[in-house]
Amino acid sequence: MDTKEIYMSKPWLKYYEEGIPEEIAIPDVSIPESFEQTVEKHGKRTALIFYGKKISYSALKDLVDRFATALADLGIQKGDTVALYLLNCPQYVIAYFASLKLGARITPISPVYTSKEVKHQLVDSEAKAIISEDILYDNVRNTGVEIEKVILTSIGNYLPFLKRLIGQKTLSNAYRGTAIPTPQYIQEKGIYLFKDLIKKYPPQPPQVSINPKEDIAALPYTGGTTGLPKAAILTHSNIISLRTMSASFTTLLKEGDETVIAFLPFFHIFGQVVVMLNSLIQGYTIVLFTTPDVDAILSDMERYQASVFYGVPTLFDGLKEYEKTDRVDWRRLKLIICGADTLHDSTMEGWERRTKSVILEGYGMTETTSGSHITPHHRPKRGSFGLPLPNVKAAIIEVEGTEFMPVNEVGEMILSGPHIMQGYWKRPEETKESFIEIDGEKWLRTGDLVRMDDEGYFHFFDRKRDLIKYKGYSVFARHVEEVLYSHPQIKAAGVVGVPDPSVGQLIKAYVVLQSEARGRISEEEIMEFCRQNLAHYKVPKIIEFRGELPKTDVGKVSRRELREELEDV
């Protein structure tokens, strides 16, 4: 059997839990249709719990229909783009489903974006309307972009009275320098208020025909390696495919019988599809948080007996040391899943020691509608992000070629399946570069350096762009970071290559020390620690101590920003 045939034989199938199919039929339905099917079955069940405020599935559908009716009356129709510039809140869910029901496509904007970044996304996505948090509207106004329809909402609209006062104060502190538009300004500019539209319009939206395989549902933006962010084109079928494939793999979860903690931001593909959409189409209850308040999250996990918890590595790393983590019986949960970045071994070990529970890793990208692999709960493997989902083909090829790599050798991972994006919005050249055709079959180039082991489990090494070349050696930034994180006095680390004509690239490590170690540990001590734990060519030549490191929207160290800092020097 040649190397390609090994991947095509899907060796991972033998480690699927009994009853999980290799291929599963994907329903030919739109996202709104799928949601309404759930409402028919679970209408009385609680869909959302927002700081004590409960909204049932039938009540949520009523709100969705009212808002869809309002949007239609304001001129939003099939093919339009609706921007969602919102924190996690019921309005996000309502606006999401209402926009899709009209055949419009949504583009989620990060609440931490500057006006410049907001402007790029509004213009590039051709947004006709924006639903914005009132406290974020300054950034919209400062773009200078004329949006046809602006709808403002407040986080307090769906909060109980006392929590409304506390919540608004908390957000005011978090977003200092922003001003909520006055009633006079709103009236002068013809801006609409979300709560007024919900009250004014009946739940009678127009019937719109949607072709799930062709019609675009979402334009989520992804950073890319250089330049401005670009949008992945995701159809209704792309998203329904990922949901169906994931549901077939996570057999521990029962439709209409789970409670999910949701603090991961819905503007991010992980929070949007895996947490929000999967849950609401499966009839789960979402306990929704606007901000990742750890104390409130831990309290509500016990209060509502949560059965599913999604997190990111930085959160788990903090929780393993947090004094109140033991308030939750983590062994009771059915699934604890980590995504958006890889877990460091030290985090996994500390977590298991502290909680006696296991975190299951997964893999996904915006371009794969948030997922492609997950670790099977009955057979986890340390250091692996798991097995491909049903309907997914995965393989490893040469970094600079198209030959398939032998098992256990590192190369670029390529993927094929019904959840893969259609391409990049208005970026034909970048779309062309992101796909590769091998023997007549189209694959997505992930840009990730991965290996598949003998059992079909996949292991992440690094992003292709983060590979450091030192004197002809290939050094994985993540491998060096793993060693740094194993040092008891290192809180965070980021590793990048610094161009150097004599060796190619020097390895530079940015290090954040634990507070008690600052000023007491030298750069040379860190280097000596690395010499004891790394091959000579992997040892950083430059150590820079920092008080903090730049982070992405989901909390992982941003190597891209560290590299950009070097370029600006």
- C-alpha distances in Å from residue 168, one per residue of 51, 89, 407: 13, 13, 54
pLDDT of residue 84: 98
Question: CA 65 to CA 206: how far, in whole Å?
Answer: 9
pLDDT interval class at 400 (50, 70, 90): confident
pLDDT of residue 565: 85
Range of lowest pLDDT (226-240, 361-375, 402-416, 522-536): 226-240
Question: CA 552 to CA 131: how far, in whole Å?
Answer: 23
Beta bridge partners of 151: 131, 192
At the second CATH level, the architecture of 3-26+232-462 is: 3-Layer(aba) Sandwich (3.40)
| Mean pLDDT calculated for residue range 33-59 | 97
pLDDT of residue 503: 87
What are the helix (H) ranges across 418-458?
428-434
Q: Which pairs count as long-range contacts for 138-142, CB under 8 Å and 24+ apart, including other chains? A: 138/177, 138/178, 138/179, 139/85, 139/113, 139/114, 139/115, 139/178, 140/85, 140/115, 141/181, 142/115
Question: CA 42 to CA 56: how far, in whole Å?
Answer: 9
Cα separation of the two ends of the chain: 52
pLDDT of residue 217: 98
pLDDT digits (tens, 9 = 90+) for 445-495: 999 999 999 999 999 988 888 889 888 888 989 889 989 999 999 999 999
pLDDT interval class at 401 (50, 70, 90): confident
Residue 289: pLDDT over 80: yes
pLDDT digits (tens, 9 = 90+) for 144-191: 999 999 999 998 888 876 566 555 555 555 555 567 889 998 998 899
- CATH number of the 31-36+56-209 domain: 3.40.50.980
Token pair, residue 329, equals: 């019986």
**What is the topology classification, in CATH, of domain 471-568?**
GMP Synthetase; Chain A, domain 3 (3.30.300)
pLDDT of residue 200: 98
Buried residues in 486-510 as b, exposed as e (16+ CB within 10 A): ebebbbbbbbbbeeeeebebbbbbb
Nearest to 438 by CA among 481, 407, 405: 405
pLDDT > 90 fraction of the chain, expressed in percent and rounded: 79
**Whether the domain at 31-36+56-209 and the domain at 471-568 fall into the same CATH topology:** no
pLDDT digits (tens, 9 = 90+) for 198-250: 999 999 999 999 999 999 999 999 864 445 789 999 999 999 999 999 999 99
pLDDT interval class at 398 (50, 70, 90): very high
| Mean pLDDT calculated for residue range 387-396 | 98
pLDDT digits (tens, 9 = 90+) for 27-44: 999 999 999 999 999 999
pLDDT > 70 fraction of the chain, expressed in percent and rounded: 96
Question: CA 357 to CA 351: how far, in whole Å?
Answer: 7
Beta bridge partners of 467: 476
Do residues 81 and 126 lie in contact, with contact meaning Cβ atoms separated by under 8 Å? Answer: yes
Task: Check residues 259 and 567 and name the one with the higher pLDDT.
Answer: 259
- C-alpha distances in Å from residue 391, one per residue of 114, 394, 420, 450: 39, 10, 11, 20
What are the helix (H) ranges across 87-160?
90-101, 115-125, 137-141
pLDDT digits (tens, 9 = 90+) for 299-357: 999 999 999 999 988 899 889 989 999 999 999 999 999 988 888 888 899 999 999 99
Residue 370: pLDDT over 90: yes
Do residues 398 and 412 lie in contact, with contact meaning Cβ atoms separated by under 8 Å? Answer: yes
Residue count of the chain: 569
Nearest to 490 by CA among 539, 525, 536, 466: 525
Q: How many Cα neighbours within 13 Å face the side chain of 363? A: 27
Single-letter amino acid, residue 501: P
> What predicted TM-score, i.e. pTM, was given to this entire model?
0.89
- Can you give the C-alpha Rg of the chain in angstroms? 24
Nearest to 263 by CA among 275, 253, 274: 275
Contacts of 187 (CB under 8 A, 6+ apart): none
Residue 416: pLDDT over 80: yes
Do residues 123 and 221 lie in contact, with contact meaning Cβ atoms separated by under 8 Å? Answer: no
184 DSSP assignment? H
pLDDT of residue 340: 81
Domain ranges of the chain: 3-26+232-462, 31-36+56-209, 471-568
